[in-house]
Amino acid sequence: MYKIMLADDEGIVIDSLRFIIEKNFSKDCLVEHASTGRSVIELAEKFQPDIAIMDIHMPGINGIEAMKEIRKTNKSVLFIVMTAFDKFNYAKEAINLGVMEYLTKPVNHTVIVSVLQRAMNVIETDRKKRSNDLLIREKLEIVVPIIESDFIYAVLSGDDLSREIWNFKNLLSIQDDYGMIMVFEFGDALVDGVLTNPVGISVKAQSFYTIIRESLKAELNCIVGPIMVNKIGVFLPSSKSQLEYDDRTTLIENARKLIRDLTKRIDVAFKVGIGSVTPLNKLYISYKEAMNAVRNSKSRVAHVKDLAIGCEYDGEYPIDIEQALFDMIDKGDMEGTKTEANLFFNWMIEHYPNCEMDIKLKVLEFILFAEQRAFLSGGMTYYFKYRSGYLNTLIQINNYEQLRHWFLDKITEACRNINTKKEEQACSVITKAKAYMEENYSKDVSLDDVSRIVDISPYYFSKLFKEETGENFIEYLTGLRIEKAKKLLQNKDVSIKNICVDTGYSDPNYFSRIFKKYVGLTPTEFRERV
């Protein structure tokens, strides 16, 4: 239905336009009219027309001024000017008001029909666009929380997110390269700094999760994770690599206000822990700090910087190189480990060239840390006398180049052992997954099913599978099924419908489309070629 307003002081013009509209668009239009500038403005406010056919010269307020007033309350109305005046100034003002058409009387009825039809097409296009926009918004309301949950799960897993960060940044419109984690914990009550009944409250948590999520979104620029027993992880982006004192106190006050308001609404006690700002691929460190703040403070809101725990470093100490070194070791990155180890060694001999024993002790400390990581990963077998010769070796080394060589040799050996173990584990997982898919491709096999079989989380399995095979799970499974189908199609005694079912597809039409996408031929065409 289109609402059309006619504005003209000549009754014959109103009657003619109404006749044309009713004859050509009777079922689609609702028509109202007015004959003075003031009455046109009042009618427009009440009627809210889609299309307004306006004369310029009317008693009182003229058509141009009336259109200006109407545009204030109706941004989308389409104006069609139909007037006996073709003066340039009128036409110019009309164009400035976004008039769709400027017609000079008399106007042929076919022109009026054509212009109205064009206006209706514009309105219909806008309506469809608005409808599609709303549909997209509805879908985003469903999808975005799922992506946000995946992001928080990925952060908390402690895995290296270097490859996924770009995707998450795009999907969630994250503009910054830094951020911090805030942990919200809840319970029935807060007694001596400890939340009571955390397991019991987790059962009720789903009933008030939406309230918490909406409150967080309203107060903070953040990404909200799912409920994990009695806590929710929240990511806050940051444009700076560290939080200034004033920003920190403001954030704490905002968190206090937030939990006060939430407590009134849902009668639940809260504690909040806030971690420090880190690069996006190191957010798991911020999460650990936030959990530390929750568990080691009796305050309702605590920032990790406010705790009397942790290690402070001399201003010139290269903590960034140290952290990068152990990140490379954990990843099993041999070249990265060697590079960062060399950088740290260079820093030591540049800043403390006369402190040979201190440098030797630091080298030993790093080697022991690296080997501990290798032992814990299963990459090395520990026995009590494993390092029996280390001290003698250190004492006998009499120059820094020998010390560098020994340092790099030991620390890269630990890294190599971690990498080897990772490759063995990945190979074992993928081999087991492929074997399961080979045996069960004819069934309804899902990512969750296979990740359960290999006993790792779906997120990590999906990531590992892509890294090891170069294909995602669905691509590999589909390729496997298509290859099986190609072999079965060579036997003309087996119907295509049965082959469809035997390769895990319940819909023959879908099977045919997928087969053609991968092979370039339909199953029937492939069988004929063979």
Q: What is the pLDDT of residue 382?
A: 79
Q: What is the pLDDT of residue 90?
A: 64
At 177-190, the pLDDT tens digits run: 899 999 999 999 88
The predicted model gives 133-160 an average pLDDT of 76
What one-character DSSP code corresponds to residue 267? -
At 335-369, the pLDDT tens digits run: 999 999 999 999 999 999 999 999 999 999 999 99
Q: What is the pLDDT of residue 166?
A: 81
Least confident of 166-175, 344-353, 371-380, 514-523: 371-380
Ordered domains of the chain (ranges, CATH):
2-127 (3.40.50.2300), 158-306 (3.30.70.270), 311-470 (no CATH)
Give the integer Cα–Cα distance in Å for 390 and 402: 14
Cα torsion angle, 438, 441, 446, 447, sign = positive
The predicted model gives 451-477 an average pLDDT of 84
The dihedrals phi and psi of 19, each to the nearest 5 degrees, come to -60, -45
Give the integer Cα–Cα distance in Å for 184 and 5: 56
Residue position matching structure tokens 């206090």: 256
On whether the pTM is more than 0.85, the answer is no
* Whether the predicted pLDDT of 244 surpasses 80: yes
| Residues linked to residue 235 through DSSP beta bridges, in sequence order | 181, 223
At 381-402, the pLDDT tens digits run: 778 888 888 999 999 999 999 9
Is residue 265 within 8 A of residue 207, CB to CB? The reply is no
Element (H, E) at 450: helix 447-454
Q: Report which of 460, 458, 456 is spatially closest to residue 468, judged by C-alpha positions.
A: 460
Q: What is the pLDDT of residue 377?
A: 76
Is residue 21 within 8 A of residue 31, CB to CB? The reply is yes
Q: What is the pLDDT of residue 310?
A: 57
At 271-326, the pLDDT tens digits run: 999 999 998 888 888 999 999 888 888 888 989 887 755 566 676 888 888 888 98
The predicted model gives 89-109 an average pLDDT of 77
As a whole number, the mean pLDDT across the chain is: 87
Element (H, E) at 195: strand 194-195
